[in-house]
Amino acid sequence: MFFDWVNVRSGNYPILATNIFSVPNAGKRTYGALKYYLSEGLRSGVPDILVAIPVHPYHGFFIEMKRQGNKPSPDQLRVLSNLSAAGYRTAVCFSGTEAIDLTEQYLSTLLSKSKAKL
């Protein structure tokens, strides 16, 4: 749902198509695959989505997606806290609608400008 929204909005704001993406950090892996991904920079607790668009006073916006009833792991809470301390906006969202609403709020000053300025 969230990336359907990104795809629709990117028609008017092309920066959204390239600067909002998922971080493929989840999933079960074999030991060999895990070893490879760790050597490539895989880090436990990294949020699911990055909005790589700075909006003052933030450098960008990280979103951790959770299903209703789940909660962030200690590693996820640690990473979110560290990212926040480093100047990023962070959120834990429990639905696509919530992620869309917070992203629209975060990008509100940019989304109100013409696409030529983005």
* CB burial readout 61-95, b (16+ within 10 A) else e: bbbbbbeeeeeeeeebeebbeebeeeebbbbbbee
CA separation for the pair 81, 84 (Å, rounded): 5
Instruction: Give the per-residue SS3 of 20-52.
Output: EEECCCCCCCCHHHHHHHHHCCCCCCCCCEEEC
Q: Residue 40 belongs to a domain with what CATH number?
A: 3.40.1350.10
Total residue length of the chain: 118
Name the residue range of residue 95's domain: 2-117
Write the CA distances from 102 to 7, 92, 106, integer angstroms.
Answer: 17, 10, 6
Mean pLDDT of 82-109: 96
pLDDT in tens, 58-95: 999 999 999 999 999 999 999 999 999 999 999 999 99
pLDDT above 80 (res 110): no
Residue 117 scores a pLDDT above 50 = no
Count of structural domains within the chain: 1
